[in-house]
């Protein structure tokens, strides 16, 4: 199966729109093949940027469309937040998939997820405690698939 066919098939499942999936399958480029990742992700490039998954690249497409329509002010990718232990030494970090600034000026930290793991829950709780900020989970399946209507 060609990489364009793989991307098209997965995009059709993500967006549910045959013509959009076809259009985007020509714009997205599969960078990793063969080796299966832990969560079956595929590295993808879109408009010169590399994404850890097709879902993340598709979320970027949606956010860029919102930016073009002036529904949001700004998009930042892969923002790193250090998380320190009780001694003040760095133990881990949280990397936000996207930080979006809404037209209201409010900042939204977005994490694109197929499913929520126990490790994610711990890291999100710790991040919220340290930074007093909420992480908005954007799921890639289910009833709330790619739901971004909370951004103001």
Q: What rounded mean pLDDT belongs to the chain?
A: 84
Please state the length of the chain.
Answer: 152
Model pLDDT for residues 71-117, shown as the tens digit of each residue = 999 999 999 998 877 676 667 788 999 999 999 999 999 999 887 88
Give the three-class secondary structure for 146: coil
- pLDDT grade, residue 56 (50/70/90)? very high
Average pLDDT (25-32) is: 83
Token pair recorded at residue 61: 């497409």
Q: Where are the domains of the chain?
A: 3-139
Model pLDDT for residues 131-152, shown as the tens digit of each residue = 999 998 888 876 667 777 777 7
Please enumerate in sequence order all residues whose Cβ is within 8 A of that of 134, keeping only pairs 6 or more positions apart, or say none.
Answer: 109, 128
Q: What is the pTM of this model?
A: 0.84
| Rounded distance between C-alpha atoms, residue 78 and residue 137, angstroms | 15
pLDDT at 21 over 90: no
| Rounded distance between C-alpha atoms, residue 18 and residue 93, angstroms | 38
């Amino acid at each position: 199966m060609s990489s364009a066919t793989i991307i098209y098939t997965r995009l059709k499942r993500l967006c549910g729109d045959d013509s959009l999936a076809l259009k985007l399958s020509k714009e997205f480029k599969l960078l990793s093949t063969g080796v299966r990742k832990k969560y079956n992700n595929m590295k993808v490039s879109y408009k010169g940027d590399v994404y850890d998954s097709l879902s993340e690249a598709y979320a970027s497409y949606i956010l860029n469309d919102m930016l073009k329509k002036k529904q949001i002010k700004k998009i930042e990718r892969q923002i790193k937040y250090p998380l320190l232990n009780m001694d003040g030494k760095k133990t881990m970090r949280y990397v936000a998939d996207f930080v979006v600034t809404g037209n209201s000026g409010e900042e939204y930290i977005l994490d694109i997820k197929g499913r929520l793991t126990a490790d994610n829950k711990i890291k999100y709780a710790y991040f919220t405690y340290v930074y007093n900020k909420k992480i908005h989970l954007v799921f890639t399946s289910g009833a709330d698939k790619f739901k971004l209507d909370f951004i103001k």
